[in-house]
Structure 1
């Protein structure tokens, strides 16, 4: 297994992208955990128009912070991080939720999985080994529906398509910096990668319940969310490649 020294010896630049909207209850703990478990990674908090002290607390904790003047939503915030990664020459970028659900201690597993499989993106799945927080019953039903649809559309088995714990290499960073879904992008991003013949693999991780803040999807929005995501990924599957492929296809 690669240790912290090996990451430095390989001269890899790694960026942890932390999208955060009103996460003042947990953002300091997330940054502290990243600093403890992944000292080899730079930390970039995308303060997505928060109306609380999220941005200031993140700065005080020692993270780089980009303050967005208005709330773009998770897609816009994450793409801002990927653009920063692309413009500053990072070899890897990992998404880490600002609510404490993701364990930075699992990042080594994602890095090892990417190097072993050669995948362009590695997704941390809570459902492979079924340890830790497993989501609510109603959301798990929706996730199972998306599992079947994404597997059929891409021909690749996936167990946790809504997981936001994702590690990308340079090719995936370049794509997402130019084109990234909005609203609730995790599922669409898998289809987008497949459209461009980029690969993704899953690695088992353990997730926590959110440590604070409010989920972007309320129970009353769940049905609307499912319908919107299903329609979005079907449309995504029919879209043609853009100019990105001309300069990045191998």
Structure 2
């Protein structure tokens, strides 16, 4: 495989959705990838067990289920995956959230066209022309457009989304490890978005289909809005200090250990 890509699925309390997510990996998608990794962040439900059963059905690609040794947050799970991407020598990390809101089929044409070789990041954008939102409230859509605009003004670059659940990141750019200092919670992607602009990443936004039906939201809207504004202001005030500071709740060199709960090699004739 000339460009081995790892697909990373962060999972927390998504026992009802994770099977549907893994079914998106049809044989053609499996053969585009070197490994599919589910990272369970100490889910209190049956997310991990359900994920392992779903992974067993993927017979054309190596699959692995990891369980974080502590609750690291969504950002911390990204760090687990980014570290694995670098350690395994993969060309990049494809992110698909485990709550079945996005469709991996939306990024498949970009991979086939080699866009992951032309850009440092492929970013699914719920709020750009061509995207479809299903079950997403008008209020939240409006709020996202406002924050996209604010971050665009702060960074000097247009944003179509500050962090959907379908993205690709090049290992070449992940190797600088700025992301180690970003917050480990749900705001991780806001820090990453601003850093990508500051570090001159080649970014490409693409439209996607996004749906909400039986997902469990972990976002408290108004407190999250205040935090989001604060991050943009901190970046605007002094971007170099922003990038140099450790915004995580753990040391910047923390290893983010996880335990391998299941692995399976590609099956001959599977």
The TM-score normalised by the length of structure 2 is 0.77
Structure 1 residues 177 and 235: CA distance shift in structure 2, 3 A: closer
Select the structure that is richer in strand.
Answer: 2
The aligned counterpart of 2:80 is 80
State how far apart, in whole Å, the 2-side matches of 1:176 and 1:47 are. Answer: 23
Structure 1 residues 132 and 77: CA distance shift in structure 2, 3 A: same
Structure 1 residues 146 and 21: CA distance shift in structure 2, 3 A: same
Structure 1 residues 230 and 195: CA distance shift in structure 2, 3 A: same
Farther-moved stretch of structure 1 (116-125 vs 147-156): 116-125
Deviation at 1:134, TM superposition (A): 6.8
Stretches of structure 2 that go unaligned for 5 or more consecutive residues are 56-62, 245-270
State how far apart, in whole Å, the 2-side matches of 1:140 and 1:114 are. Answer: 31
The TM-score normalised by the length of structure 1 is 0.82
Matched, 1:12 2:3: yes
Matched, 1:21 2:20: no
Structure 1 residues 130 and 60: CA distance shift in structure 2, 3 A: closer
Deviations 1:5-43 (A, max 9, x none): xxx4xx111111111101110111211212445112221
Paired residue secondary structure (1:138): helix
The aligned counterpart of 1:4 is none
Aligned mate of 1:189, from 178, 188, 192: 192
Farther-moved stretch of structure 1 (108-117 vs 224-233): 108-117
The aligned counterpart of 2:258 is none
**Preserved contact between residue 104 and residue 166 of structure 2 (Cα < 8 Å):** no
Deviations 1:124-152 (A, max 9, x none): 11222142427212211221121111211
The aligned counterpart of 1:66 is 66
Stretches of structure 1 that go unaligned for 5 or more consecutive residues are 1-7, 243-250
State how far apart, in whole Å, the 1-side matches of 2:103 and 2:131 are. Answer: 15
CA RMSD, Structure 1 to Structure 2 (Å): 2.4
The aligned counterpart of 2:231 is 232
The aligned counterpart of 1:246 is none
State how far apart, in whole Å, the 1-side matches of 2:110 and 2:13 are. Answer: 27
RCO higher in structure (CA 8 A, sep ≥6): 2
The aligned counterpart of 2:143 is 142
Farther-moved stretch of structure 1 (27-36 vs 87-96): 27-36
Select the structure that is richer in helix.
Answer: 1
Paired residue secondary structure (1:34): coil
Count of matched residue pairs: 230
The aligned counterpart of 2:268 is none
Matched, 1:55 2:48: yes
Q: Which runs of 4+ in 1 moved over 6 A?
A: none
The aligned counterpart of 1:171 is 172
Deviations 1:151-187 (A, max 9, x none): 1122222222232311111233323664443222222
The aligned counterpart of 2:58 is none
**Preserved contact between residue 120 and residue 173 of structure 2 (Cα < 8 Å):** yes
